[in-house]
Amino acid sequence: MGGEIRNGNVEKATISIPEIKFTKLFINGEFVDSISGKTFENIDPRTEEVIANVSEADKEDVDLAVKAARQAFDHGPWPRLPGCERRRIMLKLADLMDENVEELAALDALDAANLYSLGKAKQIHDGAELIRYYAGAADKIHGTTLKMSRELQGYTLVEPIGVVGHIIPWNFPIQMFVLKVGPALSALYCAHLAKQAGVPDGVINVVTGYGSTAGAAISSHMDIDMVSFTGSTETGHRIMQAAATSNLKAVSLELGGKSPFIVFDDADVDRVAPLALVGCFFNQGQICVAGTRTFVQEGIYDKFITRLLEEVKAWVVGDPFDPNVNQGPQVDKKQYEKVLSYIERGKKEGATLLVGGKPLPGKGYYIEPTIFTDVTDDMTIAKEEIFGPVMSIMKFRTVEEAIKRANGTKYGLAAGIMTNDLNIANTVARSLRAGAVWINCYFAFDNDLPVGGYKMSGFGKDMGIEALHKYLQIKSVATPISNSPWL
C-alpha cells in the first residue's frame, strides 16, 4: 500500500497495561453479577486475546437497573439537590477523570483500539471538560414568566424527563459515557469514579450486554421515560418501534452517516489532503461523521490524488499504544470481516483500488487504509456506511453538481466544505442536508457545538445547550387573577 506498517511491539512493552478492576454490572451504586451469571469475552483487537470476561446483562438485570433509577428519580436526593450541589459533584467527577487519565486512556486503547497517546493527551480531558460544561448549567435551567391575558398569570416549569435509557456504541467509550452515559470496561470505571464523586446510588447504572437482549429490554421498558441511542440506522428503526409499542417513550437517535468531504478547485491541496485523510481514517474509520465520500472538483483532481498518496505513505498502522501510530485495529472480528467484504464489493462493482485494500498479516484486526477512485454514486461503497478505513473519491464539475450528489444519500449527519470562496462556502453550507457542516476544517467538535443528524441519520442533538433540551419537558402553570371571570 505504500504506507508504513508496524506492530508496535517495542512501544507496547513500555506501556503499563492496567489491571481490569471492574467487570460486573453497576446497579444502584454497587458492582454486581448478572442474574443469570453469564459473561461475555472482551477481546483485545490488537492481539485477538481475551482481556476480561464481563457480566452480560439481560432483561432481568435491566429491570433491576430501572427500578434503582426510578427510585433515585422519584424519591432520591439527586433531583432534590440544589443546582450548586449537583454542579459540585459533577465537577468532582471531571477532576477524577483527569486524575485517572492514564488508566482511562489505556482502557479505551484495550477495549476499542483508540489511540493511547491521543486519549491521554486530549480525549479523556475533552470528556472531563464536557462534564464541566454541563455542570455549569446545573443551576441555570429555568422556565419563563408568561404575559398571557389580563385575567390570567402564568409561567412555565422546566423539569427533567425522568428515567432515561442510553444505548451506545463501542467506538469512543469515554466520550460516549459523558455524552450519554455508557459501554463496557471504561464505562464501568467511570461509574466507579461517579460514585467516588458523590453521585447518589441509582442515578447512574451501567448494564453491559448486547442490543438484542439488554438494548431491547431498555427500548421496550414500560418504566423508562426516554431512550437515547447512538448506532446504526437499522437498529434505530427497531428502537423507535419498541418505544412506540411500549409506553410511547421519547426517543433521541444519533445514527449512521455517509458524510461528503467536498474539495473545490480553489482549495489549498497541501492543507486539505491531510485533512481528508484524517477525516476518513481517524479511529480506523470507526466514527459516524467520517468523511468517506470525497468529492474533488476536476480542476485539482489529479493534484489532489498525488498529494493524498504522499500522505498515505506516511500513515502508520499498528498498535494503538505506540505514539507514532495513526491507525489501530478494527474493534472486533465481526467489524474487521465486514470492512473487508465492502472492499471486495468495491472491486467487484468496478471501482479502482488506488491503494490499500488488504488485511495486515499476523494477529490483530488490522486493515490497510484503503482508497478507491472511479467510484460512482450507485456503488455500494458510496451508499452504505462501512465504518472502516475506506475512502471513495469522486470527481465533479460544478457547485450545483456537488450539492446534488452530496445530498444524494439517505444519511445527513455531517459534511465538509473545502474552499476559499465565501460565496461557495455559504451556498453549499445552506444547501446541504446535514446536521453539522465544517468549512475548511473537519471533526471541529466543541462543547458548545450541537451535533446530530438530518434524514435517516436521526434526530436530537448531542453536545451544546441544545442537548439538554431533549432531557427536559415543559410544564405550563396558569392562575386566575383576583376578580377575573375565570374564578
Per annotation, catalytic residue among 4, 129, 234, 254: 254
- In angstroms, rounded to a whole number, what is the distance separating the alpha carbons of residues 379 and 348? 10
Is 385 assigned a catalytic role? Answer: no
3-state secondary structure (DSSP) of residue 483: coil
Handedness of CA 215, 221, 227, 232 (dihedral sign): positive
Q: Let me know: does 355 contact 1? Beta carbons within 8 Å.
A: yes
Residue 483 burial by Cβ neighbours in a 10 Å radius (0-12, 13-18, 19+): exposed
348 CB burial (10 A radius; 0-12, 13-18, 19+): exposed
Give the C-alpha separation, 100 to 140, whole Å. 29
Distance between CA atoms of 293 and 262, rounded to whole angstroms?
8
State the Cα–Cα distance between residues 322 and 317, nearest whole angstrom.
Answer: 10
Say how far apart CA 79 and CA 445 lie, in whole Å: 30
H or E stretch including 338? helix 333-348
167, 172, 178, 184 alpha-carbon torsion, rounded to 10°: 60
Closest CA to 432 of 410, 414, 446, 456: 414
| Beta-bridge partners for 472 | 160
Residue 319: φ, ψ to 5°: -60, 125
CA 331 to CA 353: how far, in whole Å?
24
Give, to the nearest 10 degrees, the angle between helix 83-99 and helix 185-197: 130
Which residues carry out catalysis? 254
